[in-house]
Amino acid sequence: MEDLTEMLKGTLEGCVLEIIAGEETYGYAITRRLNDLGFTDVIDGTVYTILLRLERNGLVQVAKRRSEVGPPRKFYTLNEAGRRELATFWSKWEYVSSRIDRLKEAGR
């Protein structure tokens, strides 16, 4: 599936939040996870900008730890504000996607 970038706007950040909520993880691994989920064209640069935004907005806690296979990793965890943000993301998603699905069903 090519060129999903416009459709991912506004949802990719929520996906990253959800992945972090699932387990403490780091940028490179998040990119891989998104690619495995089917968002094959999402690149690391995009993920890092999202992570920096999350940090700037005070939604995550960051811990830098050394790795044995490369440079140090920055591990991310959701704080209370991040969990709230994730909850509102899912409620927005529920709201929008249900209405779009309804429009789709109506048209056939």
Partner DNA sequence: TAGTGGTACCCGGTAGTACGAGGTACCAAC
Partner DNA sequence: GTTGGTACCTCGTACTACCGGGTACCACTA
Residue-by-residue DSSP string for 21-71: HHS-EEHHHHHHHHHHHT-TT--HHHHHHHHHHHHHTT-EEEEEE--SSSS
Residue type, 29: A
**11 makes contact with a copy of itself (CB under 8 A):** yes
Q: Is 52 in the site for a copy of itself (CB under 8 A)?
A: no
22 binds, among DNA, a copy of itself, none (CB under 5 to 8 A by kind): a copy of itself
105 touches a copy of itself (CB under 8 A): no
Q: Is 46 in the site for DNA (CB under 7 A)?
A: yes
CA 73 to chain centre: 18
Asked if residue 88 binds DNA (CB under 7 A), the reply is no
Residue 74 found at the interface with DNA (CB under 7 A): yes
Question: Does residue 4 belong to the site contacting DNA (CB under 7 A)?
Answer: yes
Q: How many CA atoms, within 13 angstroms, populate the side-chain half-sphere of residue 37?
A: 13
Q: Name residue 61's beta-bridge partners.
A: 77
Q: Which of 52, 81, 87, 100 binds a copy of itself (CB under 8 A)?
A: 100
